[in-house]
Structure 1
Amino acid sequence: MDYDAYTCPQWAPILGFGGCAFAVALSNIGGAYGTWRAGCGIMAMGVNSPELLMKNIIPVVMAGVLGIYGLIVSVILNGKIQFPDEATGQTTYSQFSGYAHLAAGLCAGFCSLASGLAIGISADAGTRAVGAQSAMSATWKKMGFTGDTGGKENSNSDSLFVGTVLIQVFAGNLGLYGLITALILSQTEHSCEIVQ
């Protein structure tokens, strides 16, 4: 098809670059928030139960992965943006591609932001609860109680930790869904042919 200044305007690449910027910025905001909130909970829990500190570091790792999702999408989108023709200054990058790539960046960015919020808030509450359960269980054992109403000598103190990890996994999936959708959207493109 012939070059169409409406289909492939000179400003179209800014949409693709915007998708790159939103993917990285929003996903890293989500990752930073998740790390911050999870870290606050872990440090508060570590005061009374320092032996559980490394065991409860999982949410921080999961929040850190969110920034990588945005980086992956940004690198892929950057590779799809086409440079203007040196001779004519016309671009083959279309509005269609630009909007698709902007949508991909926003999708990855906002999903990772939501995932970071979910990971951070649930990790803060979950790690504090795991630490409180451990400290309370140790206190009960010193007093001669097993901490279990069923009369068992050894109660399962990991049940709250397992529940917290499951919450983190499902919260982390939100960012993964955004990454998958962004990868699909990044494959949607249309380009114009430049007429010399």
Structure 2
Amino acid sequence: MSVMRPELIMKSIIPVVMAGSEQFTGRNLCSGKVLAQSFLHLGAGLSVGLSGLAAGFAIGIVGDAGVRGTAQQPRLFVGMILILIFAEVLGLYGLIVALILSTK
């Protein structure tokens, strides 16, 4: 991007920042949990992990194609940002499912 369109360098950093926001923290489980509660925590962890992985892949693919497209046609920037937001929501849905599972 810096070679083709140097004025669009700052706009090209947005997909990198959005991919970095897909980091979730885990927590320690107590050892006295029953088996059903342990499986709920396993499901919650898988929900967050797999949805974060899917969101990361989506943001990476859209970010790469969007930055290349924005270099050729600057009007594609708004569309790229919208698609990146929709991809980011995938990780949020996994977090919501994990919160529901962990509160049961």
Name the TM-score, length of structure 2 as normaliser: 0.92
Equivalent pairs counted in the alignment come to: 104
> Is residue 2:12 matched to residue 1:56?
yes
> Is residue 2:87 matched to residue 1:171?
yes
- Contact 1:46/1:131 (<8 A) preserved: no
Q: Distance in 2 between matches of 1:132 and 1:177?
A: 33
Q: Which runs of 5+ in 1 are unaligned?
A: 1-44, 84-91, 134-156, 189-196
Match of 1:99 in 2: 39
Q: Which runs of 5+ in 2 are unaligned?
A: none
Match of 2:96 in 1: 180
1:172 to partner: Cα distance: 0.6
1:110 to partner: Cα distance: 0.3
> Is residue 2:64 matched to residue 1:124?
yes
1:32-71 Cα distance to aligned partner (Å, 9 max, x none):
xxxxxxxxxxxxx22211221112211111111111xx21
Match of 2:55 in 1: 115
Q: Percent identity?
A: 52
Name the TM-score, length of structure 1 as normaliser: 0.51
CA RMSD of aligned residues (A): 1.2
